[in-house]
Structure 1
Amino acid sequence: MFFEPFFYMMAIPAVLIVGISKGGFGGGLGVVAVPILTLAIDPVLAAAIMLPILCIMDLIALKAFWKKWDGELFKSLIPSAITGILVGTLSFHYFNADAIKLMIGVLAIGFTIQHWLKLSASKKEPSKIRAAFWSSISGFTSFVAHAGGPPITFYLLPLKLEKSIYQGTSVLFFTSINYLKLIPYFFLGQLSMTNVKTSLTLLPVAFIGVYLGIILHKRMSQELFFKLAYLFLFLTGLKLTWDGVTAFL
């Protein structure tokens, strides 16, 4: 296992932030974990250590928001997300994770600014085409670097769902794809005993983070919830864009 103090200095706040996001804010900030951990370890290793933690977080959040999801909406998302995971698996040795981060980061920033400027303030109706497109991108980026939050947020936020329905649908979606990702991660050799043991040492932090997120979700108004959701999406976009740009400099 990784006993180096610096690793845990990075891992503990990363897992805590992701837990709070998963428990109360749609999981969008799940994207910050791998970039933070890469300050201490290899990115591929960071993704491998985070996956079991994310799976446990998902189960806790799923219990808290049980049956609060939109079933029809979920059904429209999951098939294309599986396709995205499959593409990520087949291209595992070829993709450029930094280019993907840059692309998603710029989209996240642009999407949020558009919302803040009220360029697209009207509620959008569900669309099979948009659902298929964004969920496939989410499945792919989730496989690459657990960065599936922003793409699916692009689709879900304009639907203006009730906050718990939004949260429940997001939780069910990411629970499904994270557990599906265990299969290719295993066959690609990413779930070694050392990695899993390291994940287990961070589980107490994961529990604390998710429960804090659940408490915050219940205590805030719907208006504040979505203001924070857009803010977190913007901050995530800045982080991804910074990671992508600096990697190419």
Structure 2
Amino acid sequence: MPDTLTLAFFAAAIPAVSLVGLSKGGLGGAISLLGMPLLSLVVDPVRAAAIFLPILIVMDIVALWSWRHYNDRKTLLMILPGGVIGIALGWATSAYVSDDALRLVIASATILFTVRYFWQVYGPHSKIPTAPLPHRPAAATFWGALSGYASFVAHAGGPPFQIYVLPMRLDPKSYTGASIRFFAIVNAVKVIPYFMLGALDQENLTISASLLPVALISTMLGAAIVKHLNSEVFYPMTYALAFLAGLKLLWDGLPF
């Protein structure tokens, strides 16, 4: 049994995995960003990322089953190529690009994006209707690549994905189905470089296995909750969680 499996470890790891599981079930992808910082309180960040990856893949399997009847195929096909490009760039350059710099870029974009949404919905011109945005191939590739890159280096790909997809105002179930499929594929692709980097060793896999029951229960719970939310509740909640995630990333990226 790894020495890491102490009471202090589980005190941080169980809430971390629970938050990510609720997110994987569909309850606001932004809350998953809190998982890595929590787990990093008891193990170093690189090891935390390695421990999380097998858990994320199991969560993906549960979420894919829970949301198997919902998807937006065009959205998935538009943004997925950029996601794969981002993973490749992360593998090739993560040793040279500061994690803090990446956090600051994503945080700034996410905060501006969410503030703009709340200004449009609740500001002085909120009565003026705005049309959902259409698909934009260049934007899909850019935000998909940033999502794949952030997912590779820090499991933080949610906000860039939301920046591209949320303004299209998909049906909440279709949005969640597309999001789950996108990150399931991204996480599966990440296994190859993680193995080649030696991060998925026996000890880390044993630790991941000890947390799987928490992962399964929290993912199913998240899916059950979201399926009962309508768009009037789902979208403000998701934007608010994205804003909080942006603040968290900004805090993590600042040099102090």
Relative to the length of structure 1, the TM-score reads 0.95
| Runs of 4+, deviation exceeding 3 Å | 119-122
Task: Give the match for residue 217 of structure 2.
Answer: 208
Q: Which of 93, 100, 103 lines up with 1:101 in the alignment?
A: 103
In the alignment of these two chains, the number of paired residues is 247
Whose Rg is larger?
Answer: 2
Matches within 5 A, 1:155-194: 155-194=164-203
- Work out the CA distance in 1 between the residues paired with 2:144 and 2:69: 21
Check whether the contact 2:31–2:245 (CA below 8 A) recurs between aligned residues. Answer: yes
Deviation at 1:95, TM superposition (A): 2.1
Unpaired segments of 5 or more residues in structure 1? none
- Work out the CA distance in 2 between the residues paired with 1:181 and 1:172: 14
What residue identity is the alignment partner of 1:118? Q
Q: What's the C-alpha RMSD, in Å, of the aligned pairs?
A: 1.4
Check whether the contact 2:25–2:63 (CA below 8 A) recurs between aligned residues. Answer: yes
5-14 or 173-182: which moved more?
A: 5-14
Check whether the contact 1:22–1:28 (CA below 8 A) recurs between aligned residues. Answer: no
Matches within 5 A, 1:1-249: 1=2, 2-25=4-27, 27-118=29-120, 121-245=130-254, 248-249=255-256
CA shift digits 1:183-208 (9 cap, x unpaired):
00000001001001100111111111
Change (3 A) 1:230 1:156: same
CA shift digits 1:57-104 (9 cap, x unpaired):
011111111141111221111111111000100113222112211221
What residue identity is the alignment partner of 2:117? H
- Work out the CA distance in 2 between the residues paired with 1:60 and 1:26: 16
- Work out the CA distance in 2 between the residues paired with 1:24 and 1:86: 26
Q: Percent identity?
A: 41
- Work out the CA distance in 1 between the residues paired with 2:171 and 2:195: 37
Check whether the contact 1:26–1:166 (CA below 8 A) recurs between aligned residues. Answer: no
